[in-house]
């Protein structure tokens, strides 16, 4: 039995030629959705300076840049007057826009194999000790982590101590405390302030932001006057000094 096998024609696009063009004739695209930090430009400068301009800038038929805005900025930093380009005149306006996005987005979906990457960086360091390894685009601190068997993106444990939870307050929202002829409370108590002020003309009424603020005000008042603050409704005494008492607690002197 004889089988007839037809060989498929290999798909091929239009021929692409690298053409060196002067920087000033290239048109950066103001609608480019990618931004380039100063750090990235420095990395590109180091890379191009070490390896050459090996990735041409892609332009459309109007010489507007489709891909390579960062490399153009780096070439300017290096003082280059011409850069290699490839004309994508086979793409429509819409296709060029879509390719600009895809060229950046598709590369983001790749992941590093940290083990292999660390081995490669080690081999480069051993083979050429004087080679500027940071031209790979990694910082020296990252290279140290990778060559030691670590992984990129691993969060370091914070050395900051875990904050302690705030101690319970004596005062509660919505209640008043008597400080001699003065009053202090917190919460939505505005409707009772006028009545309290009318009772004693020389009284001071304080509406604090939260129970902790009430506690602080009372403790300072007690420390400076030697007086005892009492709960307006129940008459219970606010604890002095290091005495501990939570909301709703009535100490022995006021119980019964």
Give the end of a domain, one of 92, 108, 124.
108
Task: Please check whether residues 141 and 208 belong to one and the same domain.
Answer: no
pLDDT at 224 over 90: no
For strand 182-186 and strand 205-208, is the pairing parallel, antiparallel, or unpaired? Answer: parallel
CA angle, 174 then 179 then 185, to 5°: 15
Whole-number Å distance between alpha carbons of 104 and 108: 7
Looking at the chain, the whole-number percentage of residues with pLDDT higher than 90 is 33
Cα of first residue to Cα of last residue in the chain, in angstroms, is 111
For strand 82-87 and strand 57-59, is the pairing parallel, antiparallel, or unpaired? Answer: parallel
Task: Please check whether residues 92 and 118 belong to one and the same domain.
Answer: no
Residues 123-157 have pLDDT tens digits of: 988 888 888 888 888 888 888 888 888 887 654 55
| Cβ pair 214, 195 in contact under 8 A | no
Tokens of residue 18, six digits: 């690298």
Please check whether residue 256 lies inside any domain of the structure.
Answer: yes
Tokens of residue 171, six digits: 């005062």
Please check whether residue 154 lies inside any domain of the structure.
Answer: no
Please check whether residue 69 lies inside any domain of the structure.
Answer: yes
Q: Domain range holding 173?
A: 169-256
pLDDT for 231 equals: 83
Task: Please check whether residues 143 and 81 belong to one and the same domain.
Answer: no
Q: Which of 164, 233, 254 is nearest to 243 (CA)?
A: 254
Strand partners, 184: 177, 206
Domains in the chain: how many in total? 3
Task: Please check whether residues 95 and 119 belong to one and the same domain.
Answer: no
Whole-number Å distance between alpha carbons of 220 and 177: 14
Q: DSSP H helical segments within the chain, as ranges?
A: 38-51, 69-78, 93-108, 114-127, 140-147, 190-199, 211-225
Residues 167-188 have pLDDT tens digits of: 788 878 778 777 777 777 776 5
Tokens of residue 121, six digits: 């960086």
Task: Please check whether residues 25 and 65 belong to one and the same domain.
Answer: yes
CA angle, 37 then 40 then 42, to 5°: 110
Residues 25-53 have pLDDT tens digits of: 999 999 898 889 999 999 999 999 999 99
Please check whether residue 54 lies inside any domain of the structure.
Answer: yes
Element (H, E) at 84: strand 82-87
Please check whether residue 152 lies inside any domain of the structure.
Answer: no
Mean pLDDT of 62-84: 95
Q: What is the pTM of this model?
A: 0.54
Please check whether residue 153 lies inside any domain of the structure.
Answer: no
Residue 1's pLDDT band, with cuts at 50, 70 and 90, is very low
Please identify which residue in the block is written with the tokens 């939260």.
210
Task: Please check whether residues 54 and 100 belong to one and the same domain.
Answer: yes
CB-side neighbour CA atoms (13 Å) of 179: 22
Residues 82-128 have pLDDT tens digits of: 999 999 999 999 999 999 999 889 888 888 898 999 899 889 888 88
């Amino acid at each position: 039995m004889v089988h007839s096998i037809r060989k498929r024609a290999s798909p091929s696009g239009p021929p692409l030629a690298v053409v060196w063009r002067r920087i000033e004739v290239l048109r950066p695209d103001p609608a480019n959705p990618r931004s380039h930090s100063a750090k990235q430009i420095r990395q590109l400068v180091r890379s191009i300076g070490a390896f050459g301009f090996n990735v041409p800038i892609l332009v459309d038929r109007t010489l507007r840049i489709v891909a390579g805005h960062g490399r153009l900025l780096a070439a300017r930093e290096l003082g280059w007057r011409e850069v290699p380009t490839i004309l994508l005149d086979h793409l429509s306006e819409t296709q060029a826009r879509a390719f600009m996005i895809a060229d950046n987005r598709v590369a983001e979906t790749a992941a590093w194999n940290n083990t292999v990457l660390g081995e490669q960086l080690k081999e480069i360091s051993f083979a050429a000790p004087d080679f500027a390894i940071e031209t790979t685009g990694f910082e020296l601190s990252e290279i140290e982590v990778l060559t030691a068997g670590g992984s990129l993106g691993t969060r370091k444990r914070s050395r900051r101590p875990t904050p302690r939870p705030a101690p319970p307050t004596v005062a509660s929202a919505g209640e008043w405390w008597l400080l001699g002829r003065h009053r202090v409370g917190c919460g939505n108590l505005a409707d009772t302030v006028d009545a309290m002020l009318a009772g004693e003309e020389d009284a001071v009424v304080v509406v604090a932001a939260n129970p902790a603020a009430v506690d602080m005000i009372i403790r300072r008042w007690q420390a400076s006057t030697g007086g005892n603050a009492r709960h307006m409704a129940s008459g219970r005494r606010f604890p002095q000094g290091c005495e501990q008492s939570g909301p709703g607690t009535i100490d022995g002197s006021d119980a019964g």
